[in-house]
Amino acid sequence: MREATGRAVLVAGVWEPGRGPMIEIENPATALVVAEFRTADEEQVDRAVTAATAAGAGWRATAQGERSEALRRIAADLDSHRDELAALLTVETGRPIARNGLYVDFAASVFRQYAELARLRGGRVVPSNEPNQLSLVLRVPYGVVGCLVPWNYPLLLLAFKAAPALATGNTLVVKGAAETTETTLRLGEILAAHTPPGVVGVVAGGADTGGHLVAHPGVDLVAFTGSTRAGKAIGAACAEASKPAHLELGGKDPALVFADADVEAAAQGVAWAAFLNAGQVCTSTERAYVHRFLYDAFVERCALIARSLRVGDPMEETTDVGPMRTEAGRRRVLDQLDAAMSAGASIVAGGGTPAVPGYYLEPTVAVGVDHSMALMTEETFGPVLPIMAFDTEDEAFALAADTPYGLGASLYTTDPRLVQRGYEELRVGTVWVNDPVVDNQAGPFGGMRASGNARELGVEGLDAFTDVKHVHWNLDLQAKPWWYTFKE
């Protein structure tokens, strides 16, 4: 174990040790503590926000080309440290290393995208009321953005926020999840190396640190990815302070497999979406509804896939599924499974916890489920695929819609009528058809209802970090006939 005491807080370009409570970083593959940090105390959070505020005027006034060049340098730095960052992500998240290099690449690509997009999108000129007038609609930075990111994709989800925010002239104070502190600090170092002092601040910590950052009067916008429960609290705090909250929250995404689907391909797609990152993805397929005509064959194939996946050391290139991030998370999943089985469900594959150190849980397929069970209605966030049969299309869409969440939904069909019905009826931010859990940098990602209000990626992800200002300009000072005049 090592103690990283010198780099837990970044204020005005200078790293310093935290002065708050100690946090320990566990490797979820071994359950061993690999590092410890002192968190930022309230005074350090205050100074980080103050420094970001002071740096804001200069960063806003920096030419767009210079800001874009800073983002390109950040992307190049990510490229040059690809292997290091992939290994760090593997230790801190438990995700297999075979995928983590791809996420470093994706993060670098996001910085490149917004470096260019910000050069093209700054507002518009709209028709004026009268001749000799100019009406400008300007997109302007909010100011200081408080960025709070979770542990499952700490590098990528910070890139989704930091790249457009910095590109459009905002400054940042970043707080990552306690479990992935080192990854956040490492990205913070890269961001700070290519921006003026104070433009990027970093504060290590847990919920208390995040709460102080959210409530700070100097923070102009809060951008948060995490649970719906935490997001509601953040949204309420921001509403109390009359500041906007950019919230990307949890999900309970359904997959609908219709009678015309290729059962083998559909089973592979659903299993991929359910077990990727040990099911710890906000857009994981957490419940599958399959036409009764395909149901038995589909369950059989999903069970075969689940049993075939290699569960083990995430540092091994051949590992398919690593550990869950925390014992508490694994316990929550097991509690949902136990409750479902007590109510009549059964497990046809997986469900075990390997007798090795670490927080492993076998990819699990459950049947005999219904909407009286938390397994089908509450976010699971683990490697579990519950499968339920349906008889009619109306029943399938009703079951998919029976949730307060609205992040995403997957459809498996070649019938365009069903696809149209899906994207028109389902109140979700993304509908995937025959290709689940895919991000397209050109299009927006985000949810509706209990899944939040944020949009990241695409031009929408850039606009999310700018406010709108209208400038009405009469080119000459000429009195209007309706203005008040002096009366004798």
Q: What is the set of active-site residues?
A: 248, 282
**Pick from 24, 18, 23: which is nearest to 6 by CA?**
18
**Pick from 357, 371, 438: which is nearest to 399 by CA?**
371
Total residue count of the chain as it appears in this document: 488
**Pick from 99, 431, 438: which is nearest to 273 by CA?**
438
Q: How far is CA 27 from CA 59, 85, 359, in A?
A: 38, 15, 9
Residues whose CB is less than 8 angstroms from the CB of residue 332 and which lie 6 or more positions away in sequence, other chains included: 380, 381, 382
Q: What are phi and psi for residue 408, nearest 5 degrees?
A: -155, 170
Question: Residues 240, 350: contact at Cβ < 8 Å?
Answer: no
What is the β-pairing status of strands 408-412 and 430-433?
A: parallel
Q: What is the rounded distance in angstroms from the CA atom of residue 119 to the CA atom of residue 97?
A: 35
DSSP string, 358-396: S-----EEEES--TTSHHHHS---SSEEEEEEESSHHHH
